[in-house]
Amino acid sequence: MAILPIVTVPDPLLKEISTPVEVVDDALRKLMDDMLETMYAAPGIGLAAVQVGRPIRLLVMDLAEEDAEPDPQFYVNPELTWTSDELATYNEGCLSIPEQYADIDRPAECKISYLDYHGVEQMVHATGLFSTCIQHELDHLNGIVFIDYLSALKRGMYVRKVKKLVKEE
């Protein structure tokens, strides 16, 4: 396994629409494993392939509590099939916008269809942090990051702070 470098704003890659995965094979599973290791090392609770420079429709997540067993989740070609009218607000962060946070409203619940680690079709009903996180990841596949929901003024401030952070590294 390998820890991959994470792309940060304002890298234009983060604006790309990721392309569908054609086949779930060992090469893709190797990328999924590397993404999981990268996410754990960051640390983060989700990671989209585009964040490690691969604009394909793939994401990994693990929402297990720190003291619990790991619960790695892999989503290939995920599609949002339903969203609740009710919204929920969550103070979101993003590994591509390090150390910056903002309250974002999203549908409180959603349903997703996807292919799993073995290429088998699955569906899931997401609530709570799971719903927020998977919608945040789906946005990445569509070239959207959470600061795109803020005013241009605030967005500019966040990008400037990240540029400074990355330069100082």
User: Using the rule CB under 6 A, is 92 a contact of ligand GNR?
Assistant: yes
Residue span binding Ni ion (CB under 5 A) among the ranges 11-19, 72-80, 92-100, 155-163:
92-100
The burial of 80, by beta-carbon neighbours within 10 Å (0-12 exposed, 13-18 middle, 19 or more buried), is given as: middle
Q: How far is CA 140 from CA 130, 136, 144, 169, in A?
A: 16, 7, 5, 24
Q: Of 65, 69, 92, 137, which residue is the catalytic one?
A: 137
Q: Is 162 near ligand GNR (CB under 6 A)?
A: no
Nearest to 116 by CA among 29, 17, 41: 29
Nearest in space to 57 (alpha carbons), one of 35, 86, 87: 35
Closest residue to ligand GNR: CB criterion:
44
Give the separation between CA 100 and CA 98, rounded to whole angstroms.
6
- In 112-151, where does DSSP find H-type helix? 128-141
The yes or no reply on residue 55 touching ligand GNR (CB under 6 A) is no
Verify whether residue 137 is a known catalytic residue: yes
Q: Rule CB under 6 A: which of 3-42 touch ligand GNR?
A: none
Judge whether 95 and 6 are in contact, CB under 8 Å: yes
Q: Is residue 94 at the binding interface for Ni ion, with CB under 5 A as the rule? A: yes
CB of 118 to ligand GNR, least distance (A): 23
Residues binding ligand GNR: number (CB under 6 A): 17
Whole-number minimum distance, CB 94 to ligand GNR, in Å? 4
Contact positions vs ligand GNR (CB under 6 A): 44-48, 51, 90, 92-96, 132-133, 136-137, 140
Which residues have a catalytic role annotated?
137
